[in-house]
Chain A
């Protein structure tokens, strides 16, 4: 049963637009993540937050910015999207940041035209 909820499921937008993706977890976890899955299905971490604090920030373009209002929510904003941003964005959470079990949402598929 899903406990990490992402919206929207799909989003199609034009180059240069701004998009925001939402993620909420109901597991009571302290740590949340954003992963990007490209067209080859490779999964790479983008950001990680622990108790609303950024702890992992991979080398992603500056147009990507995570936003956390509380430990149950972690949103992702992309300013001025590029064609290479087309991918599936997966939100996840874990009890803490000590390599505990990670649970994923169903993903948001972004298509940039």
Chain B
């Protein structure tokens, strides 16, 4: 069973601060995705990283895929209240084509 552990589980910070969320596994993934989920809604894709060491930026969000393709991080600069939500990483393997989700990080940005 492939497990993806996210840390921290909960994070509450003031508007304008920076933060990093981690996604770790003992398994190698073909690609890794980050989703954000708001209450009552399904997760929505933010980014997909495919190559070990890859870094992608989406406005104030920076995503990195570990060199060994086992871990990833999400860094948010100057957090805003609109960033509040449940952040989920998800690993995908081309062999079994199963999308496995992490344990989730609930982020709250305080105005």
A is bound by B: no
